Structure 1
Amino acid sequence: MSKKKKKKKQKHKEGNKATHKIKVVNELTPEQEERYEEVNHKKLICTLVLTGIFVLLLAVYIILMTFKVKTVIVEGNQHYTDQEITAIVQKGKFGDNSIFLSLKYSNKSITGVPFVSSMDVDVLDKNTIKVTVYEKKLAGYVEYLGKYMYFDKDGVIVENSSVKTPGIPMVTGLTFDHFTMYEPLPVDDEKVFKTILNITQLLNKYEIETDKIYFDKDYEMTLYFGDIRVAVGDKGSLEEKIQMLTSILPQLQGQKGLLNMKSYDQGLENITFTQE
């Protein structure tokens, strides 16, 4: 057989093979289609949920980092340091986030802090907050059974602490055998508390810090400044006496003795110092 005939025969066979190829189509049953759609639906939901979680976490991260408090301005504090006030305000989770603090302290003051009537928190910008502290007006404190009882202008015990507060004088000479929190100290003459408040305010005004205020049985005062005792007497000409101390005390530095100012209102020459 010739080569041409063989080639034609081979092509004819291949053509027959091609014509006999059958296309097979696998059709899904209704149950299979339903299951297939259900799987795709679950995959879509899972993708959407994961995307949502990622977006949410990203948003939270951006908020936490963008609105992070970096500056805290504290005003009105005396008993507590700026750091202590900041710790009180930012206590708890997200305490350093300005948005959280804005919501937490919106139209709400911080109360229940010893020596403080209230504290207001204002968010100035995304990284800065301002804390205004309103401390209780303390006139002085007495020591009783190892504790310091702080009282206000009316002699009402408002705080009981083991810590001394700078700028608040210790008061001695008052006689009492008990006390009740949030009630006046049981002394013979309650007017003494107004005198204590007055002298405390004057000492702060003229930036003089006394160690102790002593009252005798007639409620005449003696102020203690280290080794110097100042017999002030009664409340007459009290501001003039305190003002005069601003120039006298520096001259007595390093000495020990009694400065008698009881007769100050009768003339400057009646002020005497007895060295000890």
Structure 2
Amino acid sequence: MDNKLYRKNNSVLRRISKRLIKLAVFLGIPAAIFIYYFQLKNITVTGSSRYSQDQIVKRLINKREDKNTLIFYLKYKYFVDIRIPFVEKMSFELVDRNSVSIRVYDKRIIGCIEFMSDYFYFDKDGIIVESTSNKIDDIPQVKGLKFQKIALNEKLEVQKEELFDVILNLTQQIEKYGLNVNTISFNNKYEVTLDCGDIKAKLGKRSTYDEVLAKLKNILDEVEGKKLTIDMTTGTDYFIAKPESED
């Protein structure tokens, strides 16, 4: 009786083992093919002015399964909300079974303010979008703004709403002419002074700063290496420049 029961149990175990082996083969072969066929070998990143391709890739590939082209594409296309400082959004395109193309859209930052040793960056509408402990070199710091509080993703309430339009006009022209501007300062009359390294340029108060910044570009090219304060508030083609130490 015991032998019959033993043989019966063995027979059941063999049948179960065979079925498990068949199931493993049935599932394992397609899985192996899927893993091998969709190996992520090529990622192309375009659009970002703040991150290199390697920096973006390192932020996105952090698990073993991320090296599978299809999993990577579906994960970031439909399921994962990407949060990278100074990145507004990303778009993903499946190029082929081994390649994905990524388009990065940077947040449009027009300036920053310093508060309690941190730097807070705002967009054209005055919304605080990011903060860092160290200032980013190519974003001008704005001085002379008065505010009561600072909170990420909230509008910076300042003494005059129109100042954001002025800052936007200034930063657009600064970018257009490739000016190296460290700070944009407003005095109590909302007159503008730019700190361009060794050069300070007093621009005064204007409706737009397009023309005066075009002239400033030419002046900076001529006085490179000097330490000057340039008064451009007269509204003429003749400006007063004097050593900054005398200002």
Aligned CA distance change for structure 1 residues 54 and 149 (closer, same or farther; 3 Å): same
Aligned CA distance change for structure 1 residues 209 and 52 (closer, same or farther; 3 Å): farther
Q: How does 1:56-67 map to 2 (within 5 A)?
A: 56-67=27-38
Are positions 1:149 and 2:120 aligned together? Answer: yes
Are positions 1:132 and 2:132 aligned together? Answer: no
AA at the equivalent of 2:209: L
Structure 1 residue 90: Cα displacement: 2.0
Distance 1:206 1:227 in 2: 18
Give the superposed CA RMSD: 2.6
Aligned CA distance change for structure 1 residues 126 and 164 (closer, same or farther; 3 Å): farther
AA at the equivalent of 1:247: N
Structure 1 residue 50: Cα displacement: 2.5
Q: How does 1:162-201 map to 2 (within 5 A)?
A: 162-201=133-172
Are positions 1:256 and 2:224 aligned together? Answer: no
Distance 1:272 1:243 in 2: 17
Distance 1:65 1:271 in 2: 69
Relative to the length of structure 1, the TM-score reads 0.76
Deviations 1:156-180 (A, max 9, x none): 2222221433432111122335323
Is the 8 Å Cα contact of residues 79 and 166 (structure 1) preserved in structure 2? no
Are positions 1:241 and 2:229 aligned together? Answer: no
- Number of residues of Structure 1 aligned to a counterpart in Structure 2: 243
Are positions 1:77 and 2:48 aligned together? Answer: yes
Is the 8 Å Cα contact of residues 109 and 118 (structure 1) preserved in structure 2? no
**Aligned match of 1:225:** 196
Give 5+ residue unaligned stretches, structure 2.
none
Distance 2:80 2:48 in 1: 15
Aligned CA distance change for structure 1 residues 103 and 155 (closer, same or farther; 3 Å): closer
Are positions 1:89 and 2:60 aligned together? Answer: yes
Farther off after superposition, 44-53 or 141-150: 44-53
Farther off after superposition, 189-198 or 168-177: 168-177
Structure 1 residue 227: Cα displacement: 0.8
1:105 aligned counterpart, secondary structure = helix
Give 5+ residue unaligned stretches, structure 1.
1-28
Structure 1 residue 196: Cα displacement: 0.7
Relative to the length of structure 2, the TM-score reads 0.84
Structure 1 residue 44: Cα displacement: 4.2
Structure number with greater Rg is 1
**Aligned match of 2:129:** 158
1:95 aligned counterpart, secondary structure = helix
Are positions 1:102 and 2:70 aligned together? Answer: no
Is the 8 Å Cα contact of residues 111 and 117 (structure 1) preserved in structure 2? no
Distance 1:152 1:159 in 2: 10
2:125 aligned counterpart, secondary structure = coil
Structure 1 residue 238: Cα displacement: 1.2
Are positions 1:275 and 2:243 aligned together? Answer: yes
AA at the equivalent of 2:190: Y
Is the 8 Å Cα contact of residues 47 and 105 (structure 2) preserved in structure 1? yes
AA at the equivalent of 1:70: K
Structure 1 residue 253: Cα displacement: 1.3
Deviations 1:18-75 (A, max 9, x none): xxxxxxxxxxx9x94x875764453244234235425644543443333222222222
Farther off after superposition, 90-99 or 215-224: 90-99
Farther off after superposition, 73-82 or 143-152: 73-82
1:217 aligned counterpart, secondary structure = coil
Distance 2:69 2:161 in 1: 47
AA at the equivalent of 1:241: V
Distance 2:171 2:32 in 1: 51
Aligned CA distance change for structure 1 residues 164 and 55 (closer, same or farther; 3 Å): farther
